[in-house]
Amino acid sequence: MNHNTSVFLFLVGLSLGLTTYCYSQKSDVFLPHTAFHPGQLWPDSEGNHINAHGGGIIFHNGTYYWFGEHKGENSNAAWVGVTCYSSSDLYNWKSEGVGLQVVDNELSPIVRGCIIERPKVIYNPKTEIFVMYFHLERKGEGYSRAEVGLAQSNSVTGPYQFIRSFRPNAGFWPHNMSIGQRQSDITTQDFEKWWTTEWRQAVNDGLFVRRDFEGGQMSRDMTLFVDDDGKAYHIYASEENLTLHLAELTDDYLSHTGKYIRIEPGGHNEAPAIFKKDGRYFMITSGCTGWEPNAARLLVAHNIWGPWVLHPNPCVGDNAHLTFFSQSTFILPVQGLSNAYIFMADQWRPKNPIDGRYVWLPIEFHNGLPLIKWYEKWTIKQVFE
């Protein structure tokens, strides 16, 4: 072998080696996912950990679209907006960019630096418009405003146009609040201290509903639900996070009709997620402990207007009392399968929010009630088919 041949062979060998090395590095990242790995990093199709926290999913024309909060490294504020990802198999997600963008106009409620949480998107077939609701807090005002934000788009991935933000159901009484409760003259001024027995009783009897009657009810953690008949509902943590409200939306999904109920008065529920199976409605919520996890709760109703009956924590096994270190955000019906629902939850990392993890677990049933257990790794085929 002459000198030129051996140099040539050396270069071929080197390039083959490098190719193999690069391929294996790449394939670690880009190899398609074939299973869910709850609580692990979840790279999108470009290798970046999915950034769609507190999210929800809409299925449209054969594709799932996941909308969620874009989070940065140091703060929970919205510096970018609501992100969107698409998938056909639920394991592999492609970034579709920012669906709703924050703006640089200080006068806008969605100015960069506001707080946008728990966005959910539904489609209205009558108007052919995609409607997004989310929890909005104004820049620099902490969590005091407790408003719902509303945006719309002609296209599923956006861009979504911000319409307005408000507190829902101003001037309307909840259907399940009695005349006595509506007319009571007990006010928040009557209580120097919170959390006393008398104060709790007053809360249960609608103390905060009366306080907020004119200006609209507080609306923080939220979800949307479209029933089989096309009616849509907004479910939100209201009354200082003490009571959930379930409110009907107008036919165009762009306003509240004023018909709403209170659920679990004084029960301190947030992070509502809902699904319907065999004519029954199931709602999974959490308690209120900030970014710290707590035990999930289960509410069941035969009629969306209640009564909603409280059941024990649907999670079982190790760390069930902390919902596997996560908090509910959405329950996803898997398309093409009957009785296949995925519990979607967030493991928050408040010190580095962008590193927050996703806990997706199958909802199984035991004695007619949802049951959620931990899987280190699972597939739809393995659990549901």
Token representation of residue 35: 């299973």
The candidate with the shortest Cα–Cα distance to 120, out of 180, 53, 43, 168, is 53
205 or 221: whose CB is closer to ligand DGJ? Answer: 221
296 or 334: whose CB is closer to ligand DGJ? Answer: 296
Q: Which residue is nearest to ligand DGJ (CB)?
A: 290
Return the bridge partners of 128, or none: none
Residue from 117, 147, 240, 264 that binds ligand DGJ (CB under 6 A)? Answer: 117
CB of 91 to ligand DGJ, least distance (A): 25
117 or 147: whose CB is closer to ligand DGJ? Answer: 117
CB of 226 to ligand DGJ, least distance (A): 22
Yes or no: say if 155 and 84 are a contact pair by the CB < 8 Å rule: no
Phi and psi at residue 253, to the nearest 5°: 65, 10
180 or 290: whose CB is closer to ligand DGJ? Answer: 290
44 or 221: whose CB is closer to ligand DGJ? Answer: 221
Size of the site for ligand DGJ (CB under 6 A): 9
Asked if 291 is part of the footprint of ligand DGJ (rule: CB under 6 A), the reply reads yes
118 or 297: whose CB is closer to ligand DGJ? Answer: 118
Footprint on residues 182-241 left by ligand DGJ (CB under 6 A) = 221
Yes or no: say if 78 and 113 are a contact pair by the CB < 8 Å rule: yes
The C-alpha atoms of residue 245 and residue 261 are separated, in whole angstroms, by: 6
CB of 220 to ligand DGJ, least distance (A): 6
The C-alpha atoms of residue 186 and residue 80 are separated, in whole angstroms, by: 43
Yes or no: say if 84 and 251 are a contact pair by the CB < 8 Å rule: no
C-alpha distances out from residue 146 to 39, 125, 174, 212, 217, Å: 29, 29, 18, 11, 8
Which position has the token pair 């035969």?
302
Asked if 137 is part of the footprint of ligand DGJ (rule: CB under 6 A), the reply reads no
The C-alpha atoms of residue 62 and residue 123 are separated, in whole angstroms, by: 14
CB of 80 to ligand DGJ, least distance (A): 17
54 or 266: whose CB is closer to ligand DGJ? Answer: 54
The C-alpha atoms of residue 70 and residue 353 are separated, in whole angstroms, by: 9
The candidate with the shortest Cα–Cα distance to 276, out of 221, 336, 342, 228, is 228
330 or 378: whose CB is closer to ligand DGJ? Answer: 330
Over the window 45 to 84, marking each residue x when it contacts ligand DGJ by CB under 6 A and - when it does not, the resulting string is: ---------x------------------------------
Yes or no: say if 271 and 297 are a contact pair by the CB < 8 Å rule: no
38 or 54: whose CB is closer to ligand DGJ? Answer: 54
Return the bridge partners of 111, or none: 103
Q: How many angstroms separate the most distant Cα atoms in the chain?
A: 103
CB of 288 to ligand DGJ, least distance (A): 7
Residue from 38, 222, 270, 275 that binds ligand DGJ (CB under 6 A)? Answer: 270
CB of 76 to ligand DGJ, least distance (A): 7
Residue from 52, 57, 67, 118 that binds ligand DGJ (CB under 6 A)? Answer: 118
Asked if 44 is part of the footprint of ligand DGJ (rule: CB under 6 A), the reply reads no
CB of 240 to ligand DGJ, least distance (A): 13
Pairing of strands 369-373, 315-316: parallel
The C-alpha atoms of residue 83 and residue 95 are separated, in whole angstroms, by: 8
Residue from 271, 296, 299, 363 that binds ligand DGJ (CB under 6 A)? Answer: 271
Residue from 83, 219, 327, 347 that binds ligand DGJ (CB under 6 A)? Answer: 327
The C-alpha atoms of residue 260 and residue 218 are separated, in whole angstroms, by: 13
Which residues are near ligand DGJ by CB under 6 A?
A: 54, 117-118, 221, 270-271, 290-291, 327
